[in-house]
Amino acid sequence: MDIDLGNNSMETLCKTCSIQLDKIKNGGRFIDKKEILKTPRKTFTANIPLKMDDGSVEIFPAFRIQYNDARGPTKGGIRFHQNVSQEEVKKLAFLMTIKSAVVDIPFGGGKGGVKVNPSKISESEKERLSREYIRHFHRFIGPEQDIPAPDVNTNEKIMGWMTDEYEKIKGRKLPGILTGKPLSLGGSKGRSYATSLGGAIILEEYLKEESIDRVEVAIQGFGNVGSNLAKILHDKGHKIVAVSDAEGGIIDNEGIDIMDLYGKYDGDGDLSKMKDVEEISNKELLELDVDVLIPAAIENQIHEENVDKIKANIILEMANSPVTTEADKVLENSNTVVIPDILANAGGVTVSYFEWLQNISHEYWTEEQVNNKLKAYMVRAFKQVRETSENDECGLREAAYILGIRRVLEAEKSRGNL
Ligand code: NAD
């Protein structure tokens, strides 16, 4: 495998993939191990011309990549960002393939994106761009084919526009085309905080195995994932000592009153400007002597320069790829346990699967039903990753990759492709 996807997970993957592929033989015939997972099955690209509010026309490059569909329809979000590229979408589509397999939902992996700076376009331009995306790609997606969802800078509202556009083109109601929709269009209860709840469930399972009751936690990132996770862990009796957003953070060694903070902070605020709080920088937060450090913001936050200063016993990766390759190697040989992103933040895609199930069966679940099912899926995935790490004598990250890749390859084998 020689996909250069540029982070530590990929490096682990390359190693793991070769091991797993070497083990799978078909009647003595060796399939070229470089081919089966090296490239995406289908890549669709478009240059979307968009009429701007002032009457001019601008072109926006757009992508949809279906990396692997051996286990089911491909699944993955659509990102609106100025740095979106085909390479990035490919990498994320690959990660979705493995993540869906780790939690054992019957989906493959895909991803989409538009190269656009969303802060530079108006709301009406954003709506037209969302609808144009669907017009350009509707032939290739579908509830049994490829099911998009929100990602960076796309949200429930955009999923609503996209669902509407898709249903208009097809001339019938097909809510299973997208997940992360508004409840009024068939969205699932519990979806908005599913990633955070999934992470909390995984952490509690780990703590239970280690016979640890209550932990001190620092969380970097106070957006959808970080703020919901802070609330859930606070409700479960853990002590949140520090939280931060892009501008900086706050610390209280006695424990932050998260409910109070939740009420005051509207997400566009600035944590460090809140009154009567002790400030802390993002750099300092990552280096705190806490039981659990939760990076829930952006990638590459723990790197070669700060890894030696990390004092937390456990890192719960809620952001995608928050630890670099170099830092991961250092952590592997330290006392810090890393609970990897493809397990820790898989609650979102799991409830997306529940949303799709509800859409295609036309039967809608209560919030309690959703959350109970999420717990069952996350606990099972945690136990299986743990078991794999014991059997294959490796860390949790490698174990998660082994488990996911094994499942994808099993499906490829059953299809006669291996
Ligand atoms: P969000 O945009 O709602 O929140 C991001 C938070 O990170 C904000 O508080 C922002 O201020 C902060 N931040 C941004 N840059 C920062 C920096 N340089 N230093 C410190 N903080 C910074 O995003 P989200 O939906 O909460 O997602 C957070 C992470 O979790 C991302 O890596 C995302 O890919 C990953 N993730 C999210 C989901 C989901 O369901 N939302 C699912 C899986 C993975």
Cα–Cα dist 400/418, whole Å: 22
**Beta carbon of 284 within 6 Å of any ligand 1 atom:** no
Kindly list the distances between the CA atom of residue 321 and the CA atoms of 21, 32, 76, 295, 314, in Å, as whole numbers in the listed order.
24, 29, 16, 9, 16
- Centre of ligand 1 to C-alpha 221, Å, is 6
Q: What is the pLDDT of residue 274?
A: 72
Indicate whether residue 220 lines ligand 1 (CB < 6 A).
yes
**pLDDT tens for residues 149-203?**
999 999 999 999 999 999 999 999 999 999 999 999 999 999 999 999 999 999 9
3-state secondary structure the chain: CCCCCCCHHHHHHHHHHHHHHHHCCECCECCCHHHHCCCCCEEEEEEEEEECCCCCEEEEEEEEEEEECCCCCEEEEEEEECCCCHHHHHHHHHHHHHHHHHCCCCCEEEEEEEECCHHHCCHHHHHHHHHHHHHHHCCCCECCCEEEEECCCCCHHHHHHHHHHHHHHHCCCCHHHCCCCCHHHCCCCCHHHHHHHHHHHHHHHHHHHCCCCCCEEEEECCCHHHHHHHHHHHHCCCEEEEEEECCEEEECCCCCCHHHHHHHCCCCCCHHHCCCCEEECHHHHHCCCCCEEEECCCCCCECCCCHHHCCCCEEECCCCCCECHHHHHHHHCCCCEEECHHHHCCHHHHHHHHHHHHHHHCCCCCHHHHHHHHHHHHHHHHHHHHHHHHHCCCCHHHHHHHHHHHHHHHHHHHCCCC
| Shortest-distance Cα residue to atom 36 of ligand 1 | 319
Fold match flag (41-189 vs 193-339): yes
- pLDDT value, residue 276: 75
Ligand 1 centroid from CA 32, angstroms = 38
Question: Is the Cβ atom of 282 under 6 angstroms away from ligand 1?
Answer: yes
Low-confidence residues in the chain, pLDDT < 50: 1-11, 14-15, 19, 24-34
User: Cα(115) to centroid of ligand 1, in Å?
Assistant: 19
The reported pTM is: 0.93
Distance in Å, CA 81 to ligand 1 centroid:
14
Q: Is the CB of 411 under 6 A from ligand 1?
A: no
Cα-to-centroid distance, 55 and ligand 1 (Å): 34
What pLDDT, on the 0 to 100 scale, is given for residue 271?
A: 79
Question: What residue ranges do the domains of the chain occupy?
Answer: 41-189, 193-339
Q: Is the CB of 336 under 6 A from ligand 1?
A: no
Nearest-CA residue for atom 31 of ligand 1? 319
Rounded Cα distance between 21 and 199, Å, is: 30
Measured from the CB, is residue 142 less than 6 Å from ligand 1? no
Ligand 1 geometric centre to CA of 179 (Å)? 19
Amino acid letter at 291? D
Does any ligand 1 atom lie closer than 6 A to the CB of residue 298?
yes
41-189: what fold? Rossmann fold (3.40.50)
For residue 262, the model assigns a pLDDT of: 79
For residue 319 and ligand 1, the question of a CB distance below 6 A is answered with yes
Determine whether the shortest distance from the Cβ of 70 to ligand 1 is under 6 A.
Answer: no
Q: How many CB atoms lie within 10 A of CB 365?
A: 18
How much distance in Å is there from the Cα of 411 to the middle of ligand 1? 33
Nearest C-alpha to atom 19 of ligand 1 is from which residue?
Answer: 246
358: left (phi over 0), alpha (psi -120 to 50) or beta: alpha
Q: Which atom of ligand 1 is nearest to the CA of 298?
A: 32
Ligand 1 atom 25: the closest Cα is on which residue?
A: 224
Active-site hit among 91, 111, 231, 239? 111
Q: Looking at domain 193-339, does it have CATH number 2.40.50.140?
A: no
> Is 111 annotated in the active site?
yes
Which protein residue's CA is at the shortest distance from atom 29 of ligand 1?
319
Mutate to test the pocket of ligand 1, among 225, 320, 342 (most ligand atoms within 8 A of CB): 225
The alpha carbon of 361 and the centre of ligand 1 are apart by a number of angstroms equal to 32
Cα 174 to Cα 166: distance, rounded to the nearest angstrom: 8
Segment 28-45, tens digit of pLDDT: 344 444 478 889 999 999
pLDDT of the residue at 290: 98
| 97 and 108 Cβ atoms separated by less than 8 Å | yes
Q: Which atom of ligand 1 is nearest to the CA of 320?
A: 32
Q: Is the CB of 271 under 6 A from ligand 1?
A: no
Which atom of ligand 1 lies at the shortest distance from residue 322's CA?
32
